[in-house]
Amino acid sequence: MDGSQPGGVETGGPRTVIREARPEDAVGIARVHVASWRSTYAGIVPASYLVGLSEGAAAMRWFNAVQTRGPGRGSFVVADAEDQVIGFSTFGARRTPVDNFAGEIYAIYLDEDAKGQGIGRQLMSAMAERLLLGGIRTAVVWCLRDNPSRWFYERLGGVRVAERPIHFGGKAMTEIAYGWRDLTALAQLSAGPEMRS
């Protein structure tokens, strides 16, 4: 990745940078993760599940997770001018079998104030580029069917390729997978502003 700051690339947002995630980012990643779940899935996932989410527990998981990197896998954060985490993503080899897809975008989340600036598009592009460098040419991302933001994947060329049942807080739900059969176009996306509905 190029950019004016070492190890990162400037984003479309005001003085933000996408860079490799570090263990010390775990608390910021956990904050974004929990806040995003609570805002995105309110009224979709049972409230008891959302209330039970713990930033402390999430930080411990992310501390370990961000240290897992290598060809075609890793984690990125979006950091603001004060190096505070305002978004993150993680990716690697496919975890759930989906025919003809080798990679997976495990997570991508942004603070509400960071949305609509092209940052999500740049994170997707950075992950696609890294997957390609690791020899992974195809990938999927799973999201809840009722996720109001799933249009984002469609607008980036993702095609619905699978679905599966899942449970949160005792509630049966459905996850769908969007897939890219060639990550090249996603890796080459421009940093223009995202379209918000």
Structure tokens, 158: 């993702």
pLDDT of residue 116: 86
Q: Which residues of the chain have pLDDT under 50?
A: 1-6, 13, 191-197
What are the boundaries of each domain within the chain? Answer: 8-187
Question: From start to end of the chain, where are the E strands?
Answer: 8-10, 17-20, 74-79, 85-93, 103-110, 139-144, 159-168, 171-180
* pLDDT digits 0-9 by tens, 92-117: 999 988 999 999 999 999 998 888 88
Euclidean distance between CA atoms 192 and 160, whole angstroms: 24
- Top CATH class of 8-187 equals alpha beta
Structure tokens, 188: 């080459």
Euclidean distance between CA atoms 116 and 126, whole angstroms: 17
Which pTM does this prediction carry?
A: 0.86
Structure tokens, 192: 């223009």
pLDDT of residue 81: 86
* pLDDT digits 0-9 by tens, 58-68: 999 999 888 87
